[in-house]
Structure 1
């Protein structure tokens, strides 16, 4: 009996301790929060479908979604609650390292090839774009993403990346609510003014930063600023994206930043 009492006392203490473990009270949910997902970043894979799947599932990079080429099958590779490794060193609208706050969508495409007659860009298929719009509508049904926050890899990493390239249909996506696009009449009105008096490098840098681009405020058309201008042009004026600050680029920037 003494032996039983010897073991019983510590057991009773242990049970009492277990019964007093704190409980989590979930009866006061806060309204002060938002979704982790603030941006959607578009890419092309620069590879075939089998190679893309291999790289995105067993390589050093990943994406939440992949859109095939023929047929344009939609693949989910990473759960939306998880962080995919698609953006790398990046910045948009003051947010850095966008892997933590974005969804990444890869589209199977060779991107471009360089040949004796210059660079050749490969278009996306109609099926791929239809699949992309379907996917973006599905994403929008679950998250409140600002139209300005649908961006390309080249927008968030202009010194490193060119995807999704000049043939990506940004205007069409903007018409669906995924992005913004300037009014042509507004652009023409501003261009007439800027043809006479082209803004300074400081103006371009300030306007690009207001739109969301990470650009140095040096007051000069330095190498980084030229790359950022080229990325902006590829998105909004894909017929010429040489990085030169001209009246039309200034007019597009002004029209975009005046949009509400």
Structure 2
């Protein structure tokens, strides 16, 4: 099957360690996970993605595709590689990261839990085009979820360890599920 980049304008800019990520069959992918970067821009997301966090494999945490606010799409990891983007679901999923500040830079501070940056139309249109392309190239893809749906853990707040805050909140309350779900043809995981 053709790679998604043949269906939509996707700039391929793989992470330096992409060849060290475990390979897998495209047929094993049945889930796409929507994230937001919780960072100010695509350049910062790139620097975070390049960080080696897993010393055994020499790899880091990253989604497969990044969608910038203006609709630019960049592939950091090919879908036939297992990226580290969501605990417990990496082997069966691909991750799409939307550039959005989220709770940046105080992710776990109790006073900064609001996620109030809206997702621009250009970004959502690009996401929908990417989802259509990914669906066409991944035959087993049936489900979609937000990162917050799958990683529901709570951790001590950075400003008050006695208070627990969500580890992950993305893509957050302003993500337009009502627009995306009917258009993408995927079933949201409960």
Aligned to 1:76: 75
Q: For 2:171, which of 164, 172, 179 is the aligned residue? A: 164
Does the 8 A contact of 2:131 with 2:184 survive in 1? no
Report SS of the residue matched to 1:165.
Answer: coil
Q: How far off its partner does 1:112 sit? A: 3.8
Post-superposition Cα deviations, 1:167-188, rounded to whole Å, max 9, x if no partner, equal 111111111134458xxxxxxx
Does the 8 A contact of 1:123 with 1:168 survive in 2? yes
Counterparts in 2 of 1:36 and 1:158: CA distance versus 1, 3 Å = same
Structure with the bigger percentage of strand: 2
Higher relative contact order (CA 8 A, sep 6+): 2
Aligned to 2:27: 35
Correspondence 1:126 to 2:121: yes
Counterparts in 2 of 1:152 and 1:118: CA distance versus 1, 3 Å = closer
Counterparts in 2 of 1:133 and 1:34: CA distance versus 1, 3 Å = closer
> What value does the CA root-mean-square deviation take over the aligned residues?
2.6
Structure with the bigger percentage of helix: 1
Paired residues, what number? Answer: 140
Q: For 1:99, which of 56, 80, 90 is the aligned residue? A: 90
Which sections of structure 2, spanning at least 5 residues, go unmatched?
1-24, 53-59, 154-166
Q: How far off its partner does 1:120 sit? A: 5.1
Q: Distance in 2 between matches of 1:172 and 1:128?
A: 13
Q: Distance in 2 between matches of 1:111 and 1:117?
A: 9
Q: How does 1:241-252 map to 2 (within 5 A)?
A: none
Q: For 1:138, which of 105, 125, 133 is the aligned residue? A: 133
| Bigger Rg over Cα | 1
Which sections of structure 1, spanning at least 5 residues, go unmatched?
1-32, 89-96, 182-210, 213-260
Q: How far off its partner does 1:72 sit? A: 2.2
Q: How far off its partner does 1:58 sit? A: 3.2
Counterparts in 2 of 1:120 and 1:55: CA distance versus 1, 3 Å = closer
Does the 8 A contact of 2:79 with 2:94 survive in 1? yes
Q: How far off its partner does 1:128 sit? A: 0.5
Q: Distance in 2 between matches of 1:116 and 1:102?
A: 32
